Amino acid sequence: MQIETLELESFRNYERLRIEPGPGLNVFSGRNAQGKSNLLESIYVLATSKSTRAGKDIELIRFEDPVGRITAHVTREKNSDVALEMIFSQTDKKVARVNGVRHTKLAEVIGQLNAVLFDSGDLEIVRGEPAIRRQFLDLEIAQTSPRYVHALGAYRKTLEQRNRLLRDLRDARGSLDGLREVLPSWSAQLAHHGARLIDRRRLFLERLGLLAAEVHETLSDGRDSLQVVYVPSFPLDGAVDEAGVREAFAEALAAVAHDEMNRGTTLRGPQRDDLTFLVNGSDARLYGSQGQQRTVALSLKLAERQLIEELVGEPPILLLDDVLSDLDDVRRHHLFDLTERAGSQTFLSCTNLRPFSKGVLEQARVYAVSGGKLELQ
Ligand SMILES: Nc1ncnc2c1ncn2[C@@H]1O[C@H](COP(=O)(O)OP(=O)(O)O)[C@@H](O)[C@H]1O
Ligand SMILES: [Mg+2]
């Protein structure tokens, strides 16, 4: 898939921008704080409806402007070409349009365009809080599974309501018997939606883990082995399918119901899942060197690229945000080599053109970025 045109209006520090990127490597070079990451972010947001950097959508709108907009024309091999548009407003909910048709359900928009983002935040997937790993999982699975997006939404709503009930039960200190009776039905609903998430996460990680292990072996020249382990918040034991997971989840909730009423919150479920990355058998978050952690993060992203290509049938767009300076020559070489072989349209930001050979630059489209303006070199 390929972005033929990208237009930004009041997005971050871009007042107005229109570019026609090339089919291969597109390089965005400039000093700090000029808008390089913002540009790559706009493509990621169009693909996933979310930014990994912005806490709230309104941060994406250019300061003082009422509305921000991202538009792109995308050509695809496996699907018909598509016009995508996402509009953010200071006052209303975000709106997405696919070929001019407005969609309120994000599941119908996410995954029309597939993109894999590599940036300095990737390291946090390995060494940061569990919430970052869950966000990674959710955003990546969502890209290829509208069903997952639906399930996530349904789960979140149910969790919120169940937590409200648990808080009421805690604060009433047992005086609300009627409330206590409805808890099992909320638990059943939570297990229903949650099992779908857990089962999908497990399958995704099985495949991603194998691919990541292969990439990791290449990147470490066969020295280190990687194992990706899914750590759910309750034992899945013999649960082989969604129904089995649902049963195990319901049992786990029943076992902690008393605790939950005392604490006023849900203590089991996918909102507490985690991942562990074992490098040569030990936890990379705790024992890995910075270099090993970087290699794990890069392996995950490259594996994700490959997995999306397998699932969608064509390579996703690659967004490489200022990652060259963090990589040593070997990893940089592997990254270039893999991205070139993958045949992906690539958007790469950097502060200078030194890492590139003349041959690479001749094939690339190079833009200078300054103060939210682009100039084709
Ligand atoms: N919503 C916004 N409106 C206007 N400017 C913004 C907005 N969000 C970020 N910026 C500006 O964008 C600049 C950072 O852009 P960024 O793309 O992260 O830089 P870099 O080129 O270093 O990657 C900063 O100057 C910041 O003030
Ligand atoms: Mg940047």
Atom from ligand 1 closest to the CA of residue 35: 17
Nearest by Cα to 211 from 282, 310, 352, 283 = 310
pLDDT value for 109? 86
Task: Please check whether residue 29 is in contact with residue 368, taking contact to mean a CB–CB distance below 8 angstroms.
Answer: yes
pLDDT value for 330? 76
Residues 6+ apart with CB under 8 A from 156: none
Q: Which amino acid is at 264?
A: G
Distances (CA, A) of 63 to 59, 294, 357, 371: 8, 34, 38, 14
Local structure of residue 112 (DSSP, 8 states)? S
Q: Which amino acid is at 326?
A: D
Give the helix/strand (H/E) hosting 187: helix 177-219
Distances (CA, A) of 213 to 26, 88, 210, 287: 29, 39, 5, 18
Atom from ligand 1 closest to the CA of residue 53: 18
Cα angle for residues 104, 109, 113 (degrees, 5° grid): 160
Residue nearest atom 24 of ligand 1, based on CA coordinates? 33
Per residue of the chain (377 residues), what is the pLDDT tens digit? 999 999 999 999 999 999 999 999 999 999 999 999 999 999 999 999 888 888 899 999 999 999 999 999 999 998 999 999 999 999 999 999 999 999 887 778 888 999 999 998 899 999 999 999 999 999 899 988 989 999 999 999 999 999 999 999 998 855 677 778 899 999 999 999 999 999 999 999 999 999 999 999 988 889 999 999 999 999 998 899 999 999 999 999 999 999 999 999 999 999 999 999 999 999 999 999 988 998 999 999 999 999 999 999 999 999 999 988 777 777 777 777 777 777 899 999 999 998 888 888 898 999 999 999 999 99
Residues at CB less than 6 angstroms from ligand 1? 12-13, 30, 32-38, 59, 61-63
pLDDT value for 173? 58
Strand partners, 117: 319
Compute how many other C-beta atoms are within 10 angstroms of the C-beta atom of residue 55: 7
Cα(351) to centroid of ligand 2, in Å? Answer: 9
Nearest by Cα to 139 from 193, 208, 84, 232 = 208
Longest dimension (CA), the chain: 76
pLDDT value for 185? 96
Q: Name the token pair of 230.
A: 């899914």
Q: Name the token pair of 321.
A: 């945000």
pLDDT value for 253? 97
Q: Is 167 annotated to bind ligand? A: no
Q: Which of 38, 45, 65, 321 to mutate to test the pocket of ligand 1 (most atoms within 8 A of CB)?
A: 38
Task: Please check whether residue 75 is in contact with residue 2, taking contact to mean a CB–CB distance below 8 angstroms.
Answer: yes
Round the average pLDDT of the chain to a whole number and report it: 93
* Ligand (nearest to CA of 64): 1
- Dihedrals φ, ψ of 95, to 5°? -120, 135
pTM of the entire structure? 0.90
Q: Name the token pair of 219.
A: 């990147």
Cα(331) to centroid of ligand 1, in Å? Answer: 28
Cα(8) to centroid of ligand 1, in Å? Answer: 14
DSSP string computed for 237-283: TT--SHHHHHHHHHHHHHHHHHHHHHHTS--SSGGG-EEEEEETTEE
Residue nearest atom 17 of ligand 1, based on CA coordinates? 35
- List the domains of the chain with CATH numbers: 1-114+316-377 (3.40.50.300), 127-315 (1.20.1050.90)
Residues 6+ apart with CB under 8 A from 219: 295, 298, 299, 330, 331, 334
Nearest by Cα to 245 from 187, 202, 186 = 202
- Dihedrals φ, ψ of 93, to 5°? -70, 160
Cα(66) to centroid of ligand 1, in Å? Answer: 17
pLDDT value for 174? 54
Report the alpha-carbon distance of residue 267 to residue 233 in Å, rounded.
Answer: 8
Nearest by Cα to 202 from 181, 166, 228 = 228
Atom from ligand 1 closest to the CA of residue 38: 17
Cα(36) to centroid of ligand 2, in Å? Answer: 5
- Give long-range contacts, CB 8 A cutoff, 24+ apart: 143-147: 143/47, 143/48, 143/110, 143/111, 143/114, 143/115, 143/308, 143/316, 144/111, 144/114, 144/307, 144/308, 144/311, 144/312, 145/111, 145/200, 146/107, 146/108, 146/110, 146/111, 147/107, 147/196, 147/200
Atom from ligand 1 closest to the CA of residue 60: 1
